[in-house]
Homo-oligomer: A and B are copies of this chain.
Amino acid sequence: MPAIVECVPNFSEGRRKEVVDRIVYSIQSVPGVKVLDVEMDPDHNRSVVTFAGSKDGVQEAAFRGARAASELIDLNKHTGHHPRMGALDVLPFVPLSGVSMEDCVEIAQRVGARIGKDLKIPVYLYEAAARRPERANLENVRRGEFEGLKNSILTDDSRYPDFGPRQLHPTAGATAVGARMPLIAFNVNLRSTDLEAAKAIAKKVRASGGGLPKVKALGFALESRGLVQVSMNLTDYTVTHLSQVFEEVVKEASARGLDVAGSEIIGLIPLEAVCDVAAKHLKVTNFTSNQVLERRIWG
């Protein structure tokens, strides 16, 4: 099984397709690196690229993407709803298979150092790669955004970058480079229009409310469908399994007399997480994702 690292850079350009295309092209110019998904968001004026490959391939591709973004995006001309501080705004590395979180932290350090040195862009290490505890949280790293950081990076010692110069790149700003687990976006829809109930359930299950660790949750109304939704992000499915999250929401819903209408998995999900759920349902002991036929073929 070859080692596979995933990388999910967010670029501060979601409107000019030719710019995003050139960045994506620079990423997939590295042999063995595969771009899995590109999402351009014109409202946020931001694009999310998902790619994967070997450790070496992903490092090189991430650097090429950073370089292309620094040449093509000028933060002084950028507007959009999403907070941002750089042309390449965030660059997380994700362990997929045959790779540990420690490997991804090392990759983040290596790529971060190169972006700082070769592109003269200040780099902050965040999440699992953070060297200062407060930088584990991306919000702290990005506080003030491009405009505010111009000054505070010079004056505030707590904003000293981990790599690169102690001044913003004039057009490309600063970049947060990190390591994290794959995210799973999972929504459970309830046969009810009681938004308060959905919000109460979300509050009960999420980590910040003392619920399940590594789970974020919000309650929403799905007005056109006459349902309410508990919308969740699992930030580490190996700590809190998908089936645990589902069962907890079902339990909280039925305590309020509400039925589950159905669930949704948004975007991509790691094979391991799917196998966990199936093994749980069938009470299979000793099932591993190595038993999946396609994994033998592709892996």
Contacts and interface: CB of A to CB of B under 8 A. Distances in A.
A292 B264 contact: no
Interface of A: 4, 6, 34, 36-37, 52, 96-97, 182, 186, 242-243, 246, 260, 262-265, 267-271, 274-275, 277-278, 280-287, 291-299
A263 B283 contact: yes
Contacts of A271: 271, 292-295
Contact of A267 (B270, B283, B291): B291
A52 B299 CA distance: 13
A254 to B, nearest CB: 13
**What is the predominant secondary structure among interface residues of chain A facing chain B?**
mixed
Given A6-B293, A293-B182, A297-B4, A262 B280 contact: no
A296 B37 contact: yes
A260 B281 CA distance: 12
Contacts of A186: 282
24 contacts: A4-B297, A37-B296, A52-B296, A52-B297, A96-B297, A182-B293, A243-B281, A243-B282, A246-B282, A246-B283, A264-B285, A264-B286, A265-B287, A265-B291, A270-B292, A270-B293, A271-B271, A274-B274, A274-B278, A277-B278, A277-B281, A278-B278, A280-B281, A294-B298
A13 to B, nearest CB: 23
